[in-house]
Amino acid sequence: MLIYPSRIDTDQTLLLDQELPSSILKLDEPLARQHGPVKVNLTVTRDGETLLVTGQVGTLLHLRCGRCAEWIDWPVSVPNFILLIEPPFPDIIDLTPYIREDILLDLPVVASCRLDSSGCCPLTGKIYLPAGEPPPITGQDAWKELDKLKDRTKE
C-alpha cells in the first residue's frame, strides 16, 4: 500500500479503504497461515511537517490450536493503527510493512479453540477437564521433605 507524500497538502486528509492480499503477511509457518484478505481502513493527514496515519486493519488467519492441534480460524483486528512519519519523506512510502507488523504483533503466543461449558472441544469432541488445584503444602510438610535431604556440610 503506497502513499505519495508530495500529493498530500497540509491539513488535507487521504482516505485509504481497501483490501490487500493475504500474501503481504508472508505467513506460512507450522502453527500459522494467512487466510483472508487484509482489510485496511486508514486516514492519512498531513499536520505541518509530519504525516499521521490512523485507522484500523484486520484479517482472518488460520492458527494451530495449542490444545487439540487442529486448525482454527483466528480473526485479527488492530482497531487503533497509528503511524507517525516525520520528514524527510521519500517520494513513495510503503505502509505494507507497518500493517504487517501490527497484525503479527496481535497474534497470541498459543492459540486455542473455545471449549463449551462442559469442556468439550468444538473440533474434536474431546472433553478437556479443568486443571485441578495442586494439593496445598503446609509449612510443616515442606520442612519435613527438606529435612530428609542429607546435610553434606556435616560430613
The rounded distance, in Å, linking the Cα atoms of 44 and 120 is 46
Residue 6 has what pLDDT?
80
Residue 102 banded pLDDT, cuts 50, 70, 90:
very high
The rounded distance, in Å, linking the Cα atoms of 145 and 102 is 49
Residue 130 has what pLDDT?
66
Min mean pLDDT across 16-25, 39-48, 51-60, 125-134 is at 125-134
Q: Kindly state the DSSP code that residue 22 receives in the 8-state scheme.
A: G
- Checking if the pLDDT of 2 tops 80, the result is yes
Residue 40 has what pLDDT?
95
Write out the three cell numbers for 53.
Answer: 496515519
